[in-house]
Structure 1
Amino acid sequence: MPQETQEIIPAEILVVDDIPANLKLLKDILTGQGYRVRPTTGGQLALRSVALRRPDLILLDVKMPDMDGYEVCRALKSEEQNRDIPVIFISALDEIRDKINGFEAGGVDFITKPFEATEVLARVATHLALRRLQAQLEQQNAQLQLEIAERRQTEAALRQSENTYRTIVENTGTALIIIEEDTVISLANSRFEKLSGYSREEIEGKMSWTTFVVPEDLEKLKKNHILRRLDPQAAPASYEFRYVDRQGTVGNVVINVAMIPETQRSVASLMDVSALRKMEAELQRARKWESISIFAGGIAHDFNNLLGIILGNINLAEMSMAHPEPEVQKYLNGAERACLQSSDLTLQMIALTGGTRPFKGPQSIRELIADAVNMALHGAKVQGNFDLAEDLWHVDCDAAQIKEMVVNLAVNALEATEQGGTIDISARNELLTMDSFVPLNAGKYVHITLQDHGKGISAEFLPRIFDPYFSTKQRGGQKGMGLGLTMAYVIVKRKKQLWNLYKATVIHREVRTPLLKSCSPPRRPSF
């Protein structure tokens, strides 16, 4: 008989808020994504509900009459069986002190009201995923500890049966290493090879785990290493730190560490959570852009109106003088040019902040890319190498905006390319599934890549490259004012698509890759 598949039970979330409308809103958002929801109207009720049945995650309001959220969280964390339940505070309080209080009470995140449904769902999904990963790591560590305990009396024989030991290590599902008292790694599995970029031959018995930790985190991890060998119960078993691989790339990992009984060695399982941290950074950037857009849009509109008044007065001054002095006419012409240039800048700001409505429709993205790049490279001694798939899907977009986006990307790449150099332009169809670790809905997308061969951007500037007016180049002249990448980013984000920038320091190459949602081609008219 075929083996029955195990039914996947949706995660259960306890929502605590003394306002019924808030409970209903959160319940509708969460149940719409398939979660099971237990609404509760007070802190005492929440504690009793957890005692009856532990939820997978808790969304907890701070301001409640009977018992505030901080007290509820501290009460939960004081009990061993409830310490691992993720608690996300959700409150109208937005002061830094309020958030710090939440984290000190044991919360893992803080959502400020009013909130967006997508933000709530993204944070809930992130912390549920982290909890599942931690549970898997603990289970794998427990299994490994069991294997070691069963072989305490035969440790010498275990060392001789290297193939059996390797099989266990290779099938833990995570990057796994065994660390000696002197910090040297005595054993590493294939997943750790992939994570670190080094081979086992280079690692085992030769390299210290300190090689893979960024300097800022190293001192704390060294203290944990020493404390674990003095008092294993006093050292944290699980925590997050930043690692660095062979290429110098920095990422985030969650590590679970345990001592091997009756030895001074420890076993560590590492799970890469860098992608999750990038998602969180993207959410923060989106919130920042929302604030900037509202502020800058208002200023741009008002400033444009004032420029219109100034330009009108200049024209009236010209009309009132039949034959103005040449010197006066020179000054008037200069003022008029400055007004027109300022007006163009304000129009860019209005477009940047969403003040213009796009004219959307199915577009052949292949033609748009080729035209935009050729326009940007016109007259330059730089060659464009095109690799555009013949069967690219259509994209539902504003053709002018997409063309502007590609032009800005190409100009940015051009400025980073030496005369006589090349820029690689490619586009391909990409089908994203629910399993794709990308913060986009499943579906058909067109993946565009512009790649230059310049010296790249320093890592310290990468977080700011999309900020308005930020530039590593000199201002003025032919170097622009730092709005090109900003405009490209906003156009892509306005379509709720995806933008990523990757930089490989070793090969000095910068890659810009937007993903655009596809659509059906336009219908042909019938006669």
Structure 2
Amino acid sequence: MKNEKKSQIEMDIYHKILLDTIRDVVYFKDAQGRNLVVNKTFEELVGLKERDIIGKTDEQIFPPDLAECCNFSDREVFEKGRTLHYEEDCVGKDGKRIFFDTVKSPVYDEHRNIIGLVGVSRNITEYRQTLEDLQLFKNIINQTNDAVVIVDPGTSRFIYVNDKYCSNLGYTRKEIFNMKVTDIEAILPDNFSWSKHVNEVREKGYMLLEGLHKRKDGTTFPVWVNVKFLNIMENNYMVGIVRDITDWKKMQDEMQRLNKKNELQMKQKLDSIGILAGGIAHDFNNILTVILGNIFLSKMYLSKKNLSSEDEVLKKLTQSEDACMQAKELTGMLITFARGGEPAKELIAMSGILKETVSLVIPSDSEITCEFAITDNLYQVKADSLQIKQVVRSLVINAIEAMPNGGIIKVMAENITASKNDNLPIKEGKYLKVSISDNGIGISEENISKIFDPYFSTKDRGAQKGMGLGLSICYSIINRHEGLITVDSKTGVGTTFHFYLPANSE
């Protein structure tokens, strides 16, 4: 008898340990709703010890609303005599709502009379919050203008697609879930391998791709795809953001058409001026040659008279000679417009030309410094070194005059490969790109479109500056090298000129 009692006590202890180990709320009530058995989690929920709970009803433990809710479900279990499932909520000790998934079952005696019930309540607050977050994110994703897809890297099948992807392709979600990525992409290389593509994305982490997607009706549309490889809880996924770029492509084509039109108009304008300027320049040069010759002879004649170098007549002759030399420089610039200004191309070392020309142009006593950022192993280009030096010189002078109080000129040279996505009006291929930047006054939006027009200038007119031909000359020279010159500027921030020269392919 003692052994049986001891065994019963041990079993009660084991049962108590077992109940207290369970993280769900567990309780047993009698038919009158009094709590007879509760576990540790129940105590933590109500903030009371077991001795203060046992024998008490829910009205004595819980707030009125919760007690009534519990009593309602208890009565339903007693009336129906079977296990029932509920979702309940209450306010915790910290004042926050707690949600429970509750199962209640009737307990019978040996005569099949209900003597109470047992309940198990699982805290599903975090689970509910997760569901709400997922639903919120799902609604957000379905409201985006871009398509969102999740793909199984192993099979290339779609796991998830948002509403936008379905509407873009004309398929239902069910239809897409039975398809692979390769069923959607309209153009794939002959040697395309899905596994190699997955490995490439995995190694890089993400990739930006341009593709052509095929709709259900057979039509196609261009897309950008930003795909990222993810590993979540030991499962691999490929997540893609897919943007329809049909309108962007149309805009790009229109911009290229306008750029070509503007390029043609500029070329025609320069050619017309060039024909006129070439004739004037040659005639003007002949006149200047006569004037310079006479000045030289006059100075030679006066030198025989042993006149001082401070003599007023000699000074005037020297000033006239300097003015004639400046005029000859102007005629040289005009000749660049003419047919005789075609470049004499040869392989040049751009790095040396940049450093040499800049050092000659920037005054040694000025408040302006220069920083170089020149890539190693620059592409070789075939160009007229004198004309390229003239371009660099003009752009550096332009930068200097934009910074009257001093500043920094940055000269950069790098290798690039131009593609149709760059939206540059040049042929696709390899180019050497040179950028010359200043942090000066900048160019206003109203003037930037006219900056390469002949004789357009924002500077004062005068003998030394403001002739309005420098940038037009640069444009003409680069154009005749089958390159491109562009400008970026912001008032009060500075200006950057870029010029591109095609890499030598020989």
Give the structure-2-normalised TM-score. 0.47
Q: Which has the higher strand share?
A: 2
Q: Which has the larger radius of gyration?
A: 2
